[in-house]
Amino acid sequence: MSARTALATAGAVRSGEVSARDTVDQALASIDERNGDLNAFLSITAEQARAAADAVDAKVAAGEDPGPLAGVPVALKDNLVTRGVATSCASRILAGWVPPYDATVVQRLAAAGAISVGKTNLDEFAMGSSTENSAFGPTRNPHDTGRVPGGSSGGSAAAVAAGMVPLALGSDTGGSIRQPASLCGVVGVKSTYGTVSRLGLVAYGSSLDQIGPFAATVADAALLLEVIGGHDPGDSTSLDRPAPDVSAHLDDGVDGLRVGVVAELMGEGIAPEVVGRIRAAAEALEAAGATVEEVSIPAISACLSAYYMVATAEASSNLS
């Protein structure tokens, strides 16, 4: 499974080179092999996944369009509600709760031909940054099981990094996609506010929560964002515009772009290795035609305090 990108897998399924059932069986076998060590998945939906895969294969056989993610296995963070499948938010408070509907993003994945194979671990109610604070045990980093995968979407990041699935969804309030993507060495995107419907996401901080993709490649992440994005009348914060066509601009390059390096984020508390990587990235951008400038944002020192004030107040309201 890990040898194919999501784009390549979907293309192979649409062409009939492989079946959706085969891709799902491979993903389930990989999960069975790796999950005992990693604890990335809290639940596996093998029966439902195989039924969905058979439906995709039937469309291919009938000459119908099976969708842009035809037969691609995907993992869902367990704070996204799923009809008929338990959603726990990694808390025993919700253990055994089976939602009566699917989140909008889950519906859009199914419509695109993607196959959900299970729900992934997280810090309880998405409040954490290591995926150690789960009622069902910690998730471990696939690259070194003695280390954390980051959080709160650590299960989704670990599942992609371990090659169990090519795609996964997470949610990000204060870094919960971006940080585990970094620690696990995969691509993670916190979508622009309002781009992706949050209908069916168990809320943490409503001013900050967003759903986004994990993938092994930028192109896969772009496609997944396009599939789940777009207006949803069921979410009052949803932007009234189509999903962004990110894939069309992946090869545009950076010539003429202005990129700021924030001086206050390059000093105290930042590991020298991280600073070095940022400087190297800035040099690469300059070599590719971008203009890189150091900028100062003094108020950034107050951002973490502001985040904790907003997030905790809204979490108190949302979970009450």
Pick the closest to residue 76 from 55, 58, 102 (CA basis).
102
Residue 236 sits in a domain of what CATH number? 3.90.1300.10
Is 247 marked active-site? no
Catalytic residue among 88, 91, 156, 176: 176
267 shares a domain with 240: no
Asked if the structure places residue 282 within a domain, the reply is yes
Is 15 marked active-site? no
What pLDDT band is residue 268 in, cutting at 50, 70 and 90?
Answer: confident
Summarize pLDDT for 221-247 with one digit per residue, the tens. Answer: 999 999 999 999 999 999 999 999 999
92 shares a domain with 19: yes
Catalytic residue among 88, 129, 152, 238: 152
211 shares a domain with 194: yes
Asked if the structure places residue 177 within a domain, the reply is yes
Which of residues 210, 226, 249 is at a domain's end?
A: 249
Catalytic residue among 19, 30, 77, 130: 77
What pLDDT band is residue 313 in, cutting at 50, 70 and 90?
Answer: very high
Task: Determine the structural domain holding residue 245 and report its residue range.
Answer: 6-249
Burial 119-153 (b: 16+ CB within 10 A, else e): bbbbbbbbbbbbbebbbbebbbbbeeeeebbbbbb
C-alpha dist (Å) from residue 62 to 25, 103, 156, 160, 316: 22, 29, 33, 31, 51
Summarize pLDDT for 101-147 with one digit per residue, the tens. Answer: 999 999 999 999 999 999 999 999 999 999 999 999 999 999 999 99
Which of residues 249, 277, 304 is at a domain's end?
A: 249
pTM, full prediction: 0.96
302 shares a domain with 198: no
Residues 51-64 have a mean pLDDT of 99
244 shares a domain with 117: yes
Spatial neighbors of 153 by CB under 8 A, at least 6 apart, are 77, 120, 122, 126, 131, 168, 170, 171, 172, 176, 177, 180, 188, 214
Q: What does DSSP assign to residue 203?
A: P
Which of residues 226, 249, 272 is at a domain's end?
A: 249
Summarize pLDDT for 152-193 with one digit per residue, the tens. Answer: 999 999 999 999 999 999 999 999 999 999 999 999 999 999
Is 320 marked active-site? no
* Domain count of the fold of the chain: 2
179 shares a domain with 34: yes
